[in-house]
Amino acid sequence: MGSLREVFSFPHPVNEYAARTVAGLVAILALLTITFDLAWMLPILLYGFLARVLTGPSLSPIGQLATRVLVPVLNLPEKDTAGPPKRFAQTVGLIFATTTTVLYFGAGSALAAYSVLGVLVVFALLESVVGFCAGCFVFAQLMRIGLVPEKTCEKCNNLSFGGA
């Protein structure tokens, strides 16, 4: 049962460069989806966010590509950052991906779906290119006003996280 618990856990700390690489891959896939009207990619993006929220990179193809292939091949250094804010950011991404998928397939509105996906692209590019994690910034504000439990805050206090 221990290995199942390991699979369904989010890493702490997280390699900042792996997270930024994942964000870059998400941005590329989302841009391709919008540009070429690849609606079949929407459930794949949705799955990726769900997998990363539940398991970190363990069950995420993009997470595996980033952590096992791209980060080592690009010889990116290890830079620890707190896991809970990154998980929160993936949850926000999951909400965007779910909304996009429902708008496209449920409401039949490609324009609305791709508009929401475009916002996701902006946030993914911000993290990937300049290292600003908007979800982490919001998480820090939630910590500041006391909406994040103290136990979670303790994990974050000794590590930086984009936007804090």
Report strand pairing: 14-15 vs 80-81.
Answer: antiparallel
Domain ranges of the chain: 2-157
Average pLDDT, integer, range 76-95? 94
* Residue-wise pLDDT tens digits, 131-141: 999 999 999 89
Output the pTM of the full model: 0.90
Cα separation, 113 vs 91, in Å, equals 18
- Decide: 89 and 128 in contact? Cβ < 8 Å: no
pLDDT of residue 2: 57
Cα separation, 156 vs 11, in Å, equals 13
* Residue-wise pLDDT tens digits, 19-67: 999 999 999 999 999 999 999 999 999 999 999 999 999 999 999 999 9
Residue 8: band (very low, low, confident or very high) from pLDDT cuts 50, 70, 90: confident
The CA distances from residue 26 to 16, 31, 51, 98, 144, in Å, are 15, 8, 13, 14, 29
